[in-house]
Amino acid sequence: MHDPHGFDLALHPVADHSASAGFLHFGFAMDDADAVRALHQRMELDRVPVVEEDDEPDLVSFKCLDPDGWRVEVYRERR
C-alpha cells in the first residue's frame, strides 16, 4: 500500500526473519532516478556491498547491506 505523501508498505510472508533473508528489507524512495544511480555508484566506490540492482523504465533501484547485514533498498518507481 502507498499514499500520496510517499509512504510505502509491502507485506509478504517469509519463513526466515534474519538479516540474511532474501526478500526481507526496508527502503527509501527518491524523487529522481539519476539520484538513485548516483548513490548506487557512490556506494560501490565506498565498497558497500550491493546485492541487487534494477534499471528499468519504471524502476531504478538497488539493495545494499548495512553493517549488520540488513538489506536496504533505494529506489525510484514510476507509477
Decide: helix, strand or coil at residue 25. Answer: strand
Q: Pick the range with the lowest mean pLDDT from 2-6, 20-24, 30-34, 69-73.
A: 20-24
The string of pLDDT tens digits covering residues 42-53 is 999 999 999 999
What whole-number distance in Å separates Cα of residue 25 and Cα of residue 46?
A: 21
CA torsion, points 10, 62, 39, 68, in degrees to nearest 10?
80
Q: Where are the domains of the chain?
A: 25-72
The string of pLDDT tens digits covering residues 51-62 is 999 999 999 999
Across all residues in the chain, what is the average pLDDT? 84
Q: What's the pLDDT score for residue 10?
A: 67
CA torsion, points 38, 65, 28, 19, in degrees to nearest 10?
170
The cell for 14 is 517469509
